[in-house]
Structure 1
Amino acid sequence: MDILKTPSRWPLYLGIAGLAIVLISVWYTNQLATQLAEIEERQIMLSGQALERINSLGIDESISRDVTLENELLAVLRTVPSVLVSAGSGKVDSWEQIGTRDTNEVQRLVERWIDQGTVPVRMDQQLVYFGESRLLRQLRYFPLVLFFLIAAFIILGYIGLNQTRKSEQNRVWVGMAKETAHQLGTPISAILGWVEHLKLMYADDADIMEVSDELRHDVERLSMVANRFSKIGATPQLTATNIFRELNRCREYMEKRAPRKVMFDFPAPDAGDLRVAINPLLFDWVIENLLRNALDSMDGKGQISGHISEHGNRVYIDITDTGKGIEAKNVRKVFNPGFTTKKRGWGLGLSLVKRIIVEYHKGKIQVSRSQPGVGTTFTISLPKVSS
């Protein structure tokens, strides 16, 4: 039952809009780069033709050669990378706007231009090779830069939407939990009152006294559940606790309420003195949820095992059952709010479990092993506290 999953098309719309912007921007900037390349090529061609005409004028011509005009034409092309090469030897004489002082590197650049079909302009005993301007190169790379910028925008926008959605879900969780605790308070108090009334009215009836005692225990348990809900959203107080004793206490409570054919194999409460910083009220909720899920998966018979170990500065608690197991495709989904394989259920238990362990206890929880028809192991990792 996925009642908490509200499908949103905003990420899809955002992705489509971003892709459209990228495609339009790439197409437009590519058009600009092409046009600029054509303009630059025409300028170089016209300037080259003018230089060739000036250089072709002989000394005996009526129009003398104007060196000043030649220099002015070269000045126009100062923004374009150019290399002067000796027409006889093919060696580089000088260059402009290349960005390096290494003659060998410039020589290799000229050879590359020649391979690409670049036609030089002759000036006396020199050949002038022209490349693309820095502005044109930047414009050619601009679509790629724009793509990364828009991709970053889409990614950040998606993360922002996710964070906003999670924040809203958290507020709903907290509000629902506190309202549940508030609503439970009145009937719990009333039931406790009726239990006391039964004790007063039938003090001589041993059977009723026994029933009233059990009722009181269950109501106290219900009160503790309400108290747990009231703590959702608040910062819980953590205390250094012997994990062997705490795990055994949870086992005792659930074993009394489990089918007789379910066996529990947990370490003894005095098996060690490993301490972790926990809030017992919330941590017991985690273990009870895991044990309840284990019982639901075993159809009234099987074994539930608990194992505690330490590695470095962390303590590991394994809860293993011999139930139905979890399919591989669902292992990563079990902690998602709303995910459940049960016919009845809201899929909130394991989501709350993960939140309590990760956010309140700075720990980790995962499905460390699961095989359909064999069983499942949940592993909780918590920081170890010095004794």
Structure 2
Amino acid sequence: MINYQQKKYWKLILLNFAILISIGSLVYTRYLVEDLKKDQYKTVSLLADAYTELISSFTDPESVHDISFLFRIIMSNENIPVILADTNDNILEFRNLDSSIVLKDSTYLKRQLASMKKQYPPIPITFSNHQVQLIYYKNSKLITQLTIYPYVQLFLVILFVLVSYFAFNSSRKYEQNKVWSGMSRETAHQLGTPVSSLIALKENIKLSGGVISAELLDEFEKDTKRLELITDRFSKIGSIPKPEIRNIYELITESVNYLKPRLSKRVKIVFEPEINKEITAPVIPSLFDWVIENLCKNAINAIEGNGEIKINITENQKNVFIDISDTGKGIPKSKFRTIFKAGYTTSQRGWGLGLSLSKRIIEMFHKGKIFVKDSVLGKGTTFRIVLRKKPFRPLK
């Protein structure tokens, strides 16, 4: 059974995994940025060489034969912001900076130059007359975005984890409150039938002057046994019950015999076990009976107090199959799985715990299956329980 401690470990594992992914992304992005910075430096150095050769070509025309090639090198830089300045910080030329801002703000280029000085040392250009000019540059828009990206990603991951954690906790608390409320109502509902019968028996005894007939005594015994069964059910939900090899025919017969006298005459339960035939499987009797009761009550609600419920048992070498059918309103195919979720109900008075508990009991305590085998809107539904014949270890 997965308890809250195990869930806590899983949450920590998922959190650490998310952090590792973020750190890995951060490290890899930093590696890419450093690679791009090296390429950026090479590009600016090439620009400086091309600019030097271009200036030299005007002072010594024989030194360069293809000026257009040098122009193409200089003009090919469309990403890296650069400023050409002399040693006195007089700006001579710039590229890949917003010209519209330059026209409006006379200090814009000076601010950009100061920013470039902080990022990288300038690349000097020395001419034949010993004049020196400097090329300043800063990160391209792509490198700037890649530098910021991993931190934004890490922030979003942390934000997502925190929001998910608080949402999960709030959802869990809501579900816990709903389950506790539902369990309280289910307890009252479970106790309601035998207690009501005992009250009715008490009144009958009073009317008969204290004389208890054999029939009344039999009903009294049934109701007291029912109270014991209910107590046993709730105690086993939170424990590790041990399965017993039992005759499934007998268990269902007991459940049906208890329910029949307490149902409306318009509700008919059809169950005809084969005489002297045994179909056995390892079960926890009190919990298995609870599942049969829940499915029958679910069927009674579906037929709205007027119709037929049929129970059929079959088997093969490995499994026992129990089909419980009703002539009710049916279930849409899209809801075949949803109906087993805690809190889902179509009844105004229900809490949506009956089928959820049944699924938990069959799958976790019996290692079996429970599902909607078939349903036709307006005609009825068939639930199927699959029990294993082979003994299994009790739930831990």
Is the contact between residue 33 and residue 147 of structure 2 (CA under 8 Å) also seen in structure 1?
Answer: no
The one-letter code matched in structure 1 to 2:286 is L
Q: Distance in 2 between matches of 1:178 and 1:330?
A: 26
2:336 match: secondary structure: helix
Q: Distance in 2 between matches of 1:364 and 1:156?
A: 36
Distance 1:203 1:176, change over 3 A: same
For residues 243-295 of structure 1, the C-alpha deviation after alignment (integer angstroms, 9 at most, x for no partner) is 22222322222233333343333341547433221110010000011011111
Q: Distance in 2 between matches of 1:269 and 1:328?
A: 33
Q: Which residue of 2 aligns with 1:349?
A: 354
Is the contact between residue 362 and residue 368 of structure 2 (CA under 8 Å) also seen in structure 1?
Answer: yes
> What TM-score comes out, normalization by structure 2 length?
0.52
Alpha-carbon shift at residue 173 of structure 1 (Å): 5.2
- The CA RMSD measured in Å over matched residues stands at 5.3
Q: Distance in 2 between matches of 1:296 and 1:45?
A: 83
Q: Which residue of 1 aligns with 2:283?
A: 278
Is the contact between residue 263 and residue 302 of structure 1 (CA under 8 Å) also seen in structure 2?
Answer: yes
Alpha-carbon shift at residue 150 of structure 1 (Å): 7.5
Q: Which residue of 2 aligns with 1:229?
A: 234
Which sits farther off after the overlay, 158-167 or 210-219?
A: 158-167
Higher relative contact order (CA 8 A, sep 6+): 1
Q: Distance in 2 between matches of 1:167 and 1:322?
A: 38
1:334 match: secondary structure: helix
Q: State how many pairs are aligned.
A: 278
Runs (4+) of structure 1 exceeding 4 A deviation are 29-35, 46-50, 139-144, 146-182, 191-204, 209-213, 269-272
Q: Which residue of 2 aligns with 1:39?
A: 40
Distance 1:170 1:246, change over 3 A: farther
> What TM-score comes out, normalization by structure 1 length?
0.53
Is the contact between residue 368 and residue 388 of structure 2 (CA under 8 Å) also seen in structure 1?
Answer: yes
For residues 320-364 of structure 1, the C-alpha deviation after alignment (integer angstroms, 9 at most, x for no partner) is 111111233433221222221112122221121112112211222
Alpha-carbon shift at residue 43 of structure 1 (Å): 5.6
Distance 1:140 1:193, change over 3 A: closer
Match of 2:271 among 266, 275, 293: 266
Match of 1:296 among 288, 296, 301: 301
Q: Which residue of 2 aligns with 1:310?
A: 315
Q: Distance in 2 between matches of 1:341 and 1:332?
A: 14
Q: Which residue of 2 aligns with 1:256?
A: 261
The one-letter code matched in structure 1 to 2:223 is D
Is the contact between residue 266 and residue 306 of structure 1 (CA under 8 Å) also seen in structure 2?
Answer: yes
Alpha-carbon shift at residue 378 of structure 1 (Å): 1.1
Distance 1:270 1:346, change over 3 A: same
Distance 1:195 1:373, change over 3 A: closer
Distance 1:157 1:312, change over 3 A: farther
Is the contact between residue 373 and residue 383 of structure 2 (CA under 8 Å) also seen in structure 1?
Answer: yes
Q: Which residue of 2 aligns with 1:327?
A: 332
% same residue: 32
For residues 142-197 of structure 1, the C-alpha deviation after alignment (integer angstroms, 9 at most, x for no partner) is 979x9799779958995997599659956985898699979x99xx99x9899799
User: Runs of 5+ in structure 1 lacking a partner?
Assistant: 1-17, 54-135
Q: Which residue of 2 aligns with 1:247?
A: 252
Which sits farther off after the overlay, 348-357 or 40-49?
A: 40-49
Is the contact between residue 341 and residue 356 of structure 2 (CA under 8 Å) also seen in structure 1?
Answer: yes
Q: Which residue of 1 aligns with 2:342?
A: 337
